[in-house]
Amino acid sequence: MKHLIQSFQSHVGERGCHFYDSENCNFLTWKEVFRFMDALPTEKGTSFMERLTETLANYNPDHEFLAVQQNGDSVSVELYSQG
C-alpha cells in the first residue's frame, strides 16, 4: 500500500483516479479516466463505469482520494478521506 499512499501524496488537489494493484499505482487525470472507460466493453463494465463516473464527479480532491483496485478478476472503486 506504500505505493498507493505515495501516489495520494503526489496528487493532492488533482481530480482523477489512482488505479492500483499489489505492486503498482498509476494516477489518471479526469480526461484520462474517461478515455480509459471509452475503451472498455460497455456490456461488461456498465455498473463499474457508472459508479466510477459518479464518484469521480462528486468527491473533493483536496481532502479525498479516489482509487480503483484490481485484485485478480475483481475490481473495486474506493474513496479514501484524509483525516
- The pLDDT value given to residue 48: 82
- The pLDDT value given to residue 65: 96
Question: Taking residues 52-65, what's their average pLDDT?
Answer: 94
SS3 state of residue 19:
strand
User: What is the rounded CA–CA span in Å between residue 42 and residue 45?
Assistant: 5
Specify the number of domains making up the chain: 1
Domain housing 42: 2-81
User: What is the rounded CA–CA span in Å between residue 30 and residue 64?
Assistant: 15
Return the half-sphere exposure (C-beta side, CA atoms, 13 A cut-off) of residue 79. 15
**Among the ranges given (5-9, 27-31, 44-48), the one the predictor scored with the smallest mean pLDDT:** 44-48
Q: Write down the pTM of the prediction.
A: 0.88
Tally: H helices and E strands in the chain = 3, 4
